[in-house]
Amino acid sequence: MAKLDFSKLDGLVPAVAQDWRTGEVLMVAFMNEQSWALTLSTGIMHYWSRSRGKLWKKGESSGHVQEVKELRIDCDDDCVLAKVNQVGDAACHAGYRSCFYRIVEKGAALRVDGVRVFDPASVYGEKT
Protein backbone atom coordinates (compact mmCIF):
# COMPACT_ATOMS: atom_id res chain seq x y z
CA MET A 1 0.00 0.00 0.00
CA ALA A 2 1.12 3.52 -0.73
CA LYS A 3 2.11 5.17 2.53
CA LEU A 4 3.97 8.41 2.19
CA ASP A 5 6.54 9.57 4.71
CA PHE A 6 5.51 13.09 5.69
CA SER A 7 7.98 13.23 8.58
CA LYS A 8 11.01 14.55 6.73
CA LEU A 9 9.59 17.93 5.83
CA ASP A 10 7.32 18.93 8.69
CA GLY A 11 4.30 17.15 7.29
CA LEU A 12 4.89 17.82 3.60
CA VAL A 13 6.21 15.98 0.56
CA PRO A 14 7.09 17.53 -2.80
CA ALA A 15 4.82 16.65 -5.70
CA VAL A 16 5.74 16.97 -9.36
CA ALA A 17 2.96 17.49 -11.91
CA GLN A 18 3.87 16.28 -15.38
CA ASP A 19 1.75 16.62 -18.51
CA TRP A 20 0.50 13.10 -19.19
CA ARG A 21 0.72 13.53 -22.97
CA THR A 22 3.91 15.48 -23.58
CA GLY A 23 5.90 14.63 -20.45
CA GLU A 24 6.53 18.33 -19.82
CA VAL A 25 7.09 19.08 -16.14
CA LEU A 26 4.41 21.64 -15.31
CA MET A 27 5.05 22.51 -11.68
CA VAL A 28 6.33 21.34 -8.32
CA ALA A 29 4.38 22.03 -5.14
CA PHE A 30 3.86 20.37 -1.77
CA MET A 31 1.26 18.03 -0.35
CA ASN A 32 0.32 17.32 3.21
CA GLU A 33 -1.52 14.20 4.29
CA GLN A 34 -4.94 15.78 3.72
CA SER A 35 -4.14 16.97 0.20
CA TRP A 36 -2.70 13.55 -0.68
CA ALA A 37 -5.87 11.85 0.60
CA LEU A 38 -8.07 14.27 -1.37
CA THR A 39 -5.99 13.76 -4.51
CA LEU A 40 -6.45 10.01 -4.19
CA SER A 41 -10.18 10.18 -3.47
CA THR A 42 -11.17 12.87 -5.99
CA GLY A 43 -8.73 12.32 -8.86
CA ILE A 44 -8.02 16.06 -8.84
CA MET A 45 -4.68 17.45 -7.67
CA HIS A 46 -4.70 19.04 -4.23
CA TYR A 47 -1.66 20.66 -2.67
CA TRP A 48 -0.73 22.52 0.46
CA SER A 49 -0.04 26.19 -0.15
CA ARG A 50 2.98 27.18 1.91
CA SER A 51 2.50 30.88 1.20
CA ARG A 52 -1.16 30.89 2.22
CA GLY A 53 -0.89 28.17 4.83
CA LYS A 54 -3.94 26.32 3.57
CA LEU A 55 -5.22 23.43 1.53
CA TRP A 56 -5.00 24.30 -2.16
CA LYS A 57 -7.08 22.70 -4.85
CA LYS A 58 -5.05 23.65 -7.88
CA GLY A 59 -7.25 25.70 -10.22
CA GLU A 60 -9.77 26.71 -7.57
CA SER A 61 -9.51 30.35 -8.73
CA SER A 62 -8.59 29.98 -12.39
CA GLY A 63 -10.56 26.83 -13.20
CA HIS A 64 -7.30 25.29 -14.39
CA VAL A 65 -7.61 22.11 -12.39
CA GLN A 66 -5.35 19.11 -12.87
CA GLU A 67 -7.01 15.76 -13.51
CA VAL A 68 -4.95 12.84 -12.31
CA LYS A 69 -4.03 10.32 -14.99
CA GLU A 70 -1.42 8.42 -13.00
CA LEU A 71 0.21 8.70 -9.59
CA ARG A 72 3.63 7.37 -8.70
CA ILE A 73 5.69 7.57 -5.52
CA ASP A 74 9.44 7.37 -5.27
CA CYS A 75 11.72 4.78 -3.73
CA ASP A 76 11.88 6.61 -0.39
CA ASP A 77 8.12 7.16 -0.15
CA ASP A 78 8.72 10.89 0.24
CA CYS A 79 7.83 12.33 -3.16
CA VAL A 80 4.89 12.15 -5.58
CA LEU A 81 4.96 12.18 -9.37
CA ALA A 82 1.57 12.89 -10.92
CA LYS A 83 0.79 12.62 -14.61
CA VAL A 84 -2.04 15.04 -15.16
CA ASN A 85 -4.38 16.50 -17.70
CA GLN A 86 -3.95 20.24 -17.22
CA VAL A 87 -7.30 21.89 -17.88
CA GLY A 88 -6.81 25.25 -19.60
CA ASP A 89 -3.40 24.08 -20.79
CA ALA A 90 -1.54 26.32 -18.33
CA ALA A 91 -0.29 25.37 -14.89
CA CYS A 92 1.56 28.59 -14.07
CA HIS A 93 -0.14 31.58 -12.48
CA ALA A 94 1.99 33.73 -14.80
CA GLY A 95 0.07 32.27 -17.73
CA TYR A 96 2.67 29.84 -18.99
CA ARG A 97 2.01 26.19 -19.67
CA SER A 98 4.79 25.27 -17.25
CA CYS A 99 6.14 27.12 -14.22
CA PHE A 100 9.61 26.25 -15.55
CA TYR A 101 9.52 28.76 -18.39
CA ARG A 102 13.00 30.15 -17.76
CA ILE A 103 16.27 28.56 -18.76
CA VAL A 104 19.43 29.22 -16.75
CA GLU A 105 22.16 30.02 -19.24
CA LYS A 106 25.92 30.37 -18.93
CA GLY A 107 26.79 32.88 -16.23
CA ALA A 108 23.38 32.18 -14.62
CA ALA A 109 21.53 34.54 -16.96
CA LEU A 110 17.84 33.75 -17.42
CA ARG A 111 16.11 33.35 -20.78
CA VAL A 112 12.37 32.94 -21.15
CA ASP A 113 11.50 29.81 -23.11
CA GLY A 114 7.89 28.87 -22.65
CA VAL A 115 4.44 29.02 -24.15
CA ARG A 116 2.28 31.76 -22.66
CA VAL A 117 -1.27 30.48 -22.82
CA PHE A 118 -3.17 33.27 -21.07
CA ASP A 119 -2.87 36.77 -19.71
CA PRO A 120 -3.04 36.49 -15.90
CA ALA A 121 -5.07 39.71 -15.61
CA SER A 122 -7.88 38.24 -17.68
CA VAL A 123 -8.07 35.09 -15.54
CA TYR A 124 -7.52 36.36 -12.02
CA GLY A 125 -8.90 39.88 -12.60
CA GLU A 126 -7.06 43.14 -12.43
CA LYS A 127 -6.69 45.18 -9.31
CA THR A 128 -8.41 48.54 -9.67
Residues that bind its own copies in the complex, under the rule CB under 8 A: 1-3, 8-9, 14, 16, 18, 22-25, 27-28, 40, 50, 70-76, 79, 81, 92-94, 96, 99-104, 108-110
- When the beta carbons of 3 and 128 are compared against its own copies, the nearer one is 3
Amino acid at 111: R
What pairing do the DSSP bridges indicate for beta strands 13-19 and 80-86? parallel
In this structure, what DSSP letter does residue 123 have? H
Cβ-contact 4, 81 below 8 angstroms = no
Numbers of helices and strands, H then E, in the chain:
2, 8
In the complex, the smallest distance separating the C-beta of residue 29 from its own copies, rounded to whole angstroms, is 9
Nearer to its own copies, 106 or 128 (CB): 106
CB of 99 to its own copies, least distance (A): 4
